[in-house]
C-alpha cells in the first residue's frame, strides 16, 4: 500500500537525528543543544499572543497577509516575494515537492542540517553529498558538482560549522542557473544576507525562520524570499492553514519589537566571543562561527564527543554530540551560546571534566 518513494526512504533509515535523550528532567537542564534563543520571545510577543487567543475559534488567515507584509518590510522587498511556512522545515519540503522529480539530484554540502536530505528523499530526490574539506567552503569544488544536480542547499551560516560560502562564491554558483536554496536561519546573528537580492534572481530562494533570534521555535514560522514566480508556486502547494493564528500574530509582533531583537543579537554575539575564548583556553579547538552556536573539537582533552556529552548531561547540561551528523566523526560537539550564567556553568563543569582527566 505504501508508496515506492516513502518505502525507499523508510528502508534507508534516514530520519531527523534527534539529540540523544538522557535520563534527566529537560525542564531543569541547561539546554545548549538546540540552537534556540536562551532569551525566548519578546514580552510584547507574549502580550500579543494573549490578545489573539480570542480568535482561535476561527481559521487562520490562509494567505498570512499581515505577516507577509511585515516580513517584506523587514527585508525590504515586495510582499509577493515572500512565502511562509510552518517553520522552514515545511518550506524545504515544499521546495522539493515543487522542483524535484523522482531521481533528480540535490547538492548537499556536508556537514549540514539534516532536513535538506530528509526533504529531498521524501520527495523522491537523490542527495548528492559533497564534504567540505576541513569544514571550509571551496566554490570550485561545489561548482564542479552543480552541473549534475537540479538544485543545491546551502546553510549561510551553515549548521553546524557556523561559517558560510563567500558572496562571490555564491554568486558564481547562482550564475550556473540551477536553483539554489540559501538557508539563512541564523542570519540575524551573522549580519550578512542575500535575501534582498533574491527577487531579482530567477534561481534563488532564501529561507529564514522565527525559531532562532526571535525565540519562537515552538510556534513554527518560517519564510522564503524569492522571485514572485518561484514564491507563488510554494504558496500554491502549501496547505492553506499551515501557519496558525497565534503563530502569525506572534511573528508580526516579533518583527515590530526591533529593540528586543537588537538586544538579543548583541547579547548572543558578546556571549559567543566569551564562550569561544573560554573554550579555547581549556585547550579545545573552536571553529569561528557567525551563528549562535560553536562547533568544537574535543579531542585535545583526550576524549570524544560521546564521553563529554554524557559527563555534561549527568550534570544537567545538554550539548549536541555531532557524531550522528553525516561527515563529522566522533570528535566534534556543537554548543549553543547561552546566557552568561549558563555559559559560566558550562565552562566550570568542563574545567572539572578536564581536571578529572589529568
Ligand X SMILES: Cc1ncc(COP(=O)(O)O)c(C=O)c1O
- Contact residues: ligand X, CB under 6 A: 35, 87-89, 113, 155, 159, 183, 185, 209, 211, 217, 222
How does 279-295 read in b/e, with b if 16+ C-beta sit within 10 Å? Answer: beebebebbebbbbbbb
Our CB check for ligand X shows the closer of 89 and 278 to be 89
What backbone phi and psi angles, to 5 degrees, belong to 351?
A: -65, -40
Our CB check for ligand X shows the closer of 181 and 350 to be 181
Our CB check for ligand X shows the closer of 52 and 164 to be 164
Separation CA 37–CA 14 (nearest Å): 28
Q: Provide the β-strand partners of residue 332.
A: 297
Q: How far is the CB of 198 from ligand X (least distance, A)?
A: 16
Our CB check for ligand X shows the closer of 84 and 284 to be 84
Q: How far is the CB of 163 from ligand X (least distance, A)?
A: 12
Our CB check for ligand X shows the closer of 130 and 251 to be 251
Our CB check for ligand X shows the closer of 86 and 203 to be 86
Separation CA 182–CA 123 (nearest Å): 19
Our CB check for ligand X shows the closer of 159 and 245 to be 159
Check whether the bond before 186 is cis (ω within 30° of 0).
Answer: no
Q: How far is the CB of 35 from ligand X (least distance, A)?
A: 5
Our CB check for ligand X shows the closer of 155 and 199 to be 155
Q: How far is the CB of 45 from ligand X (least distance, A)?
A: 16
Q: How far is CA 227 from CA 82, 84, 172, 234, 324, in A?
A: 9, 14, 19, 11, 36
Residue nearest to ligand X (CB): 87
Q: How far is the CB of 113 from ligand X (least distance, A)?
A: 4
Q: How far is the CB of 283 from ligand X (least distance, A)?
A: 27
Q: Provide the β-strand partners of residue 246.
A: none
Q: How far is the CB of 17 from ligand X (least distance, A)?
A: 11
Q: How far is the CB of 250 from ligand X (least distance, A)?
A: 13
Q: How far is the CB of 128 from ligand X (least distance, A)?
A: 19
Our CB check for ligand X shows the closer of 213 and 230 to be 213
Amino acid at each position: 500500500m505504501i508508496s515506492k518513494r516513502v518505502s525507499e526512504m523508510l528502508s534507508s533509515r534516514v530520519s531527523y537525528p534527534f539529540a540523544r535523550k538522557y535520563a534527566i528532567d529537560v525542564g531543569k537542564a541547561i539546554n545548549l543543544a538546540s540552537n534556540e534563543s536562551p532569551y525566548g520571545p519578546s514580552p510584547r510577543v507574549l502580550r500579543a499572543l494573549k490578545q489573539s487567543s480570542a480568535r482561535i475559534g476561527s481559521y487562520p488567515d490562509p494567505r498570512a497577509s499581515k505577516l507577509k507584509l511585515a516580513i517584506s518590510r523587514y527585508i525590504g522587498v515586495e510582499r509577493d516575494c515572500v512565502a511562509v511556512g510552518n517553520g522552514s522545515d515545511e518550506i524545504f519540503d515544499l521546495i522539493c515537492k515543487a522542483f524535484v522529480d523522482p531521481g533528480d539530484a540535490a547538492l548537499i554540502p556536508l556537514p549540514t542540517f539534516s532536513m535538506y536530505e530528509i526533504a529531498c528523499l521524501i520527495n523522491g530526490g537523490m542527495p548528492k553529498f559533497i564534504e567540505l574539506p576541513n569544514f571550509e567552503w571551496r566554490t570550485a569544488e561545489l561548482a564542479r558538482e552543480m552541473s549534475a544536480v537540479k538544485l543545491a542547499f546551502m546553510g549561510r551560516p551553515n549548521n553546524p560549522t557556523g561559517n558560510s560560502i563567500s558572496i562571490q562564491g555564491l554568486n558564481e554558483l547562482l550564475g550556473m542557473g540551477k536553483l539554489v536554496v540559501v538557508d539563512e536561519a541564523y542570519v540575524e546573528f551573522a549580519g550578512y544576507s542575500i535575501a534582498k537580492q533574491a527577487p531579482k534572481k530567477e534561481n534563488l530562494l532564501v529561507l529564514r525562520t522565527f525559531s532562532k533570534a526571535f525565540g519562537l521555535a515552538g510556534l513554527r514560522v518560517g519564510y522564503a524570499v524569492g522571485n514572485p514566480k518561484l514564491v507563488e508556486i510554494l504558496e500554491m502547494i502549501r496547505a492553506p492553514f499551515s501557519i496558525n493564528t497565534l503563530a502569525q500574530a506572534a511573528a508580526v509582533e516579533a518583527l515590530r519589537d526591533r529593540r528586543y531583537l537588537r538586544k538579543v543579537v548583541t547579547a548572543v554575539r558578546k556571549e559567543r566571543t566569551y564562550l569561544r575564548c573560554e573554550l579555547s583556553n581549556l585547550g579545545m579547538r573552536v571553529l569561528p562561527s557567525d551563528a549562535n552556536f560553536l562547533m568544537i573539537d574535543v579531542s585535545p582533552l583526550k576524549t570524544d564527543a560521546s564521553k563529554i556529552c554524557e559527563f555534561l548531561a549527568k550534570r544537567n547540561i545538554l550539548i549536541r554530540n555531532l557524531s550522528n551528523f553525516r561527515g563529522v566523526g566522533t570528535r566534534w560537539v556543537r554548543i549553543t551560546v547561552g546566557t552568561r550564567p549558563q555559559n559560566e556553568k558550562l565552562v566550570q563543569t568542563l574545567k572539572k571534566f578536564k581536571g578529572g582527566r589529568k
